[in-house]
Amino acid sequence: MSLTAEPSALLDSQDALRTRYKPPSAGAVAKDIGRIDEHFRRFIALSPFVCLGTTGADGLGDVSPRGGDPGFVHVLDEHTLAMPDRPGNNRLDSLGNIAAGSGVGLLFLVPGFEDTLRVNGTARISSDPALIDRFCVDEKAPLSVLVITVAEIYLHCPKALRRARLWDPASYADRAAFPTAGAIYRDQLALERDVAAMDAALEQDARDRLY
């Protein structure tokens, strides 16, 4: 059934949503302490992977994966984070969105943990040499650093990761069940190139341009 066929079924306001959802518990509201305390600082220090959410001037949302050694996102103070921008595809989806409007959302994950850490705030893009120098790896520096001002921060419950069995190897799909990136690009872009060669080039890029 098309959504347009039943406009009365759309939940397009807070009031409409509350006809189906109970109010949050007092604890669910209070857990947003709005600052990076010693527990959240430790979680960030353990995390090697973050999802970065932004919204463009056109209203489209975007989520980008960011990773590094545990603690690759630095805590500058209890309201400020710094995250290096490592080599990617140069589309600048996230950075372009931040340049147009500074709102960001981050989701920190730690392998093996079912809890996640949610951070909402604003970001600016810095090329300050002193800030960039602190993120050098093997004498390779990021081109820019995101400086994030934390407005909301709280631990998220484990239900989603538990439902997904995200860290359970028994739930992992066989990689052979899905085509390689080279095969997908060949089909989608109508390329007349050898898939194995494309996969090899992609793998080399992933090895050689981590930093």
Same domain, 150 and 179: no
Residue 64: CATH number of its domain: 2.30.110.10
Same domain, 195 and 132: no
- pLDDT per residue as tens digits for the range 8-30: 789 999 999 999 999 999 999 99
Mean pLDDT, to the nearest integer, of 163-173? Answer: 97
- Predicted pLDDT at 9: 87
Kindly give, in sequence order, each residue whose CB lies less than 8 Å from that of residue 117, ignoring residues fewer than 6 positions away: 40, 43, 44, 47, 107, 108, 153, 154, 155, 156
* Model pTM above 0.85: yes
Task: Indicate left, alpha or beta for 67 from its phi (over 0: left) and psi (-120 to 50: alpha).
Answer: beta
Same domain, 45 and 135: yes
Same domain, 67 and 144: yes
Range of the domain at 198: 173-208
- Predicted pLDDT at 2: 59
Same domain, 81 and 118: yes
At 3, is the pLDDT very low, low, confident or very high (cuts 50, 70, 90)? low
Domain count, the chain: 2
- Predicted pLDDT at 8: 75
Burial class of residue 180 (count of CB atoms within 10 Å of its CB; 0-12, 13-18, 19+): middle
- pLDDT per residue as tens digits for the range 38-64: 999 999 999 999 999 999 999 999 999
On whether the CB atoms of residues 182 and 57 are closer than 8 A, the answer is no
Does the pLDDT value for residue 4 go beyond 80?
no
| Phi, psi of 185, rounded to the nearest 5 degrees | -65, -40
At 6, is the pLDDT very low, low, confident or very high (cuts 50, 70, 90)? confident
Kindly give, in sequence order, each residue whose CB lies less than 8 Å from that of residue 149, ignoring residues fewer than 6 positions away: 79, 80, 121, 122, 123
Q: Which residue has the higher pLDDT, 6 or 168?
A: 168
Does the pLDDT value for residue 1 go beyond 60?
no
